[in-house]
């Protein structure tokens, strides 16, 4: 039993050391998107509660857009 607890503690420590730093606020994981840049689009379909299919105003499909921070 003590070996199992030690193994679990080692696994948690390893995962915490290796993965938690990327989730910390203020630690960049990728370049910031163009902030302040707005594009007008037309919604063509609602895939689910927070995913839309959109196209630009020239009717070229742009793909799916996922809305972040939506609380159901």
Can you give the three-state secondary structure of 3-62, one letter per residue? HHHHHHHHHHHHHHHHHHHHHCCCCCCCCCCCCCCCCCEEEEEEEECCEEEEEECCCCEE
Residue 59: predicted pLDDT? 92
User: Under 8 Å CB-to-CB from 47, ≥6 apart: which residues?
Assistant: 53, 64
pLDDT at site 54: 93
| pLDDT on residue 38 | 78
Successive 10-residue mean pLDDT values, the chain, 72 residues = 67 57 56 70 90 91 85 66
Q: How far apart are CA 17 and CA 14, in angstroms?
A: 5
Q: What is the pLDDT of residue 2?
A: 65
The pTM of the full predicted model, rounded to 2 decimals, is 0.45
Residues in the chain: 72
């Amino acid at each position: 039993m003590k070996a199992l607890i030690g193994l679990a503690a080692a696994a948690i420590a390893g995962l915490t050391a290796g993965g938690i730093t990327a989730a910390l606020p203020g630690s960049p994981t990728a370049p910031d998107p163009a902030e302040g840049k707005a594009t007008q689009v037309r919604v063509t379909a609602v895939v689910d509660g927070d995913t839309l299919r959109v196209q630009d105003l020239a009717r070229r499909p742009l793909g799916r857009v996922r809305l972040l921070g939506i609380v159901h």
